[in-house]
Structure 1
Amino acid sequence: MVTNHQNRQRKRKNVPFSTDFLIEAHRALYERLAPEDRISDDGEVIVPGQIRTRDVEVGRHIPPRAASLPAFLERLDQVYGPTRSWERTLIATACAHHRVAWVHPFLDGNGRATRLQSHCALWKLSEGLWSPNRGLARSTTAYYAALQNADSARRGDLDGRGNLSAAGLFEWVKYFLGICQDQVAYMSSMLALEGIKQRIEALIIFRSTQDKSIRREAILPLVHIFGLGPITRGEFAQMTGLGERSARSLLSKLLADRLLVSDTPYGPVRFGMPLNSLGMIFPNLYPEVDQLLA
């Protein structure tokens, strides 16, 4: 029988700002790693989702003692748990990101779990179209500098009411919001239909020079599917202007290459996004992927 307490725990695990969600994020990340990759730099085994049980030092930063972690995690839930407007959610996400990193609840993987929590906290706003984590990954020096700056102690009586600098936190929030704004602008430019049309056209023309079964007649239906969503296989064939056999062959090739995907053997087709197409469809989305596939 499921108790009310168990129901509340399950609900908290689905609330991105909750520390239960943070713990589940850490568990999900580390459970996917091979055992040999769950070893810290000092040789200690990292248990997925386990709050640290000993005191640590992280460079010049000395996080709260392990014995006090339950109180700090409870305080995080009290401050960042309540629902709020989207403007305040953005600011709360930035503040929670630093505060969780400062508390350092795990022996290892704090940054990974915190960034995953921030990504999920903004999901209803971004709908997965953009993520602050891309921007953070592309400015690691500024990212860690801003975090460390927010770690600093109060700079006088007018610098907040707690032990940490309010001015440092404000500068971190400003940096984080700038990253979000930059990622929204980037994805807005990438998703503009005219630009997408040109890049899909370039992708198909390039591939047609390497594989004769990729035909330029695929460009129009691919652009249509990207902009307006799935279509039937018959509609795809009509849009190519090819004969039935040639259209069917082209469709099969695009499905095999994952430029089109379908849930069933005869169902509608929708736009796919294989890794080897990202470099041309979304330039500089993840340059590391382009390097791996080169």
Structure 2
Amino acid sequence: MAIEGNTLTLEQVQSIYAGDFSAPQSRAYQEREVRNVLEAFERLDDMVTEDGDLRLSAELICDLNRWVLEGVDPDAALKPGATRTHSVVVGSYVGPSARDCWHLLERLADWLDGDDFRPSGSEGDDSREAFARTVLSALLAHLYIAWIHPFGDGNGRTARLLEYLILARSGRVPLAAANLMANHFNLTRDRYYSRLAAASRERDVLGFLEYGIEGLVDGLVEHSAAVRAQHLGLAWQGYVAETMARFPTSPASERQRALVMALEPAVRVPRPDVAGLTPQLAQMYARTGPRTLARDLNRLEDAGLIEVSKEGIRARIDLMSAFLLPTST
């Protein structure tokens, strides 16, 4: 989730998540911003898991804002989670009066949980419609938070968390994929601001929806491919272990297992380069004779784990494809 003005790198954010990074004092507030967002995701995941009928409310939306702002700037006059008390002008767009923000949040929550976003078909026949309405409500929630601009700070993060919550609680989007639209907005930030401005200036809501849906579809395709590749890798690892277990345990079998696992899917490696695929493999073959590699390749080929040709050496990881679910088109 993008945080405006936060300059911590992806690697530093990953280290914060792992618990082994501490920012210098001058950037401690940026670390706190990241920790707040990570903790907010964890809270929402717990809420979705524990409450099968989680309802939206103005109070909950304010909680989202409080979670992302708490402790970031202790000296700020703005109170995290409280609606703004000042007017908002962004370019030619004039936000609603500050005194209307709470009422508008109440109306927004009621609308998003209302009949407009419930499937109209019969039970069991509405899965596609329900998914479409869920995505539509998440995008409109994001857009309306931007329009209402109810808080003095953190409106973008609040909108993304609300969008995430709507997708996650639906049960129609895996938790691991519920942040894909937010990630799309971050990766295409210039276009995001352009679409947001057009929605405000020209009332081009459909343009914003099309842009968000396009990003979600692309993200789901990439996410599905990554999951499939991970499953393929795990299946291959298990198959290699099962096949190699038929041979006596020895330095040779350990070396051969390492060779197979060093080969990347769909990549043919020239024979002279095989022994140096990894530092570990290079060390193993440095301690052997000149004919060892040939014997190892013959054994692995006989076991059906590799394919040897003039073009090079290839792992037979394609054997695992038959055990994976087909991709939808």
TM-score by length of 2: 0.47
Structure 1 unaligned segments of length 5 or more: list them: 1-10, 40-44, 154-164, 202-214, 221-294
Distance in structure 2 (CA, Å) of the matches to 1:121 and 1:26: 16
Query: 1:73 offset after TM fit, Å?
Result: 1.9
The amino acid across from 2:139 in the alignment is: A
Specify whether residues 97 and 106 from structure 1 end up closer, same or farther in structure 2 by C-alpha distance, changes over 3 A only: same
3-state DSSP of counterpart to 2:175: coil
Q: State whether residues 102 and 150 of structure 2, in contact with CA within 8 Å, keep that contact through their aligned partners in structure 1.
A: no
Higher Rg of the two aligned structures: 2
Residue 59 of structure 2 corresponds to residue 20 of structure 1: yes
Q: Of the candidates 184, 191, 209, which is equivalent to residue 220 of structure 2? A: 184
User: Corresponding residue for 2:285?
Assistant: none
Contact 1:52 1:105 (8 Å CA) reproduced? yes
Distance 2:258 2:54 in 1: 41
1:188 maps to amino acid? S
Q: Answer yes or no: is the 8 Å Cα contact 2:69–2:80 preserved in 1.
A: yes
| AA of the residue aligned to 1:121 | I
For residue 152 of structure 2, what is the amino acid of its counterpart?
L
Say which structure, 1 or 2, has more relative contact order (CA 8 Å, 6+ apart): 2
TM-aligned CA deviation for residue 146 of structure 1: 0.8
Q: Secondary structure at the match of 2:159?
A: helix
* Unmatched 5+ stretches in structure 2: 1-50, 119-129, 238-253, 261-329
Match for 2:195: what amino acid?
A: A
Alignment partners' CA distance in 2, 1:75 and 1:172: 21
**Which of 72, 87, 90 lines up with 2:104 in the alignment?**
72
Seen in structure 2, the aligned counterparts of structure 1 residues 54 and 122 have a Cα distance that, compared at 3 Å, is same
**CA drift at 1:197:** 1.5
Q: 1:51–1:197: structure 2 CA closer, same or farther, 3 Å change rule? A: same
Count of aligned pairs: 175
Q: 1:133 matched to which residue of 2?
A: 182
Per-residue Cα deviation, 1:107-128 (whole angstroms, up to 9, x for no partner): 1110010011101111133222
**Which residue number corresponds to residue 52 of structure 1?**
84
1:242-281 deviation per Cα after TM superposition (whole angstroms, max 9, x unaligned)? xxxxxxxxxxxxxxxxxxxxxxxxxxxxxxxxxxxxxxxx
Give 2:143's aligned residue: 98
Write the distance in 1 (CA, Å) between the matches of 2:258 and 2:106: 55
Q: What is the CA-CA distance between 1:133 and the residue it aligns to?
A: 1.2
Query: Does the 8 Å CA contact 2:137/2:166 hold for their aligned counterparts?
Result: no
CA contact under 8 A between 1:27 and 1:49: conserved in structure 2? yes
2:90 is paired with a residue of what secondary structure? coil
Q: Give, as a single letter, the amino acid of the residue that structure 1 aligns with 2:212.
A: F
**Is the deviation greater in 188-197 or in 17-26?**
188-197
Question: How many percent of aligned residue pairs carry the same amino acid?
Answer: 25
| Deviation, structure 1 residue 219 | 11
TM-score for both structures, normalised by structure 1 = 0.53
- Alpha-carbon RMSD: 3.1
Conservation of the 8 A alpha-carbon contact between 1:14 and 1:21: no
Q: Which amino acid aligns with 1:110?
A: N
Equivalence for 1:242: none
Q: 1:196/1:138 Cα in 2 relative to 1: closer, same or farther (>3 Å)? A: farther
Instruction: Tell me the residue number matched to 1:235.
Output: none
Query: 1:57–1:101: structure 2 CA closer, same or farther, 3 Å change rule?
Result: same
Q: Is the 8 A contact 2:141 2:162 kept in 1?
A: no
Matches within 5 A, 1:104-143: 104-123=149-168, 124-130=171-177, 131=179, 132-143=181-192
User: How far apart are the structure 2 equivalents of 1:140 and 1:93?
Assistant: 18
Which of 18, 30, 33 is the equivalent residue of 2:72? 33
Counterpart CA distance in 1 for 2:140 and 2:232 is 35
Partner Cα separation in structure 1 for residue 258 and residue 160 of structure 2: 38
Q: Secondary structure at the match of 1:108?
A: coil
> In structure 2, what is the Cα distance between the partners aligned to 1:194 and 1:67?
51
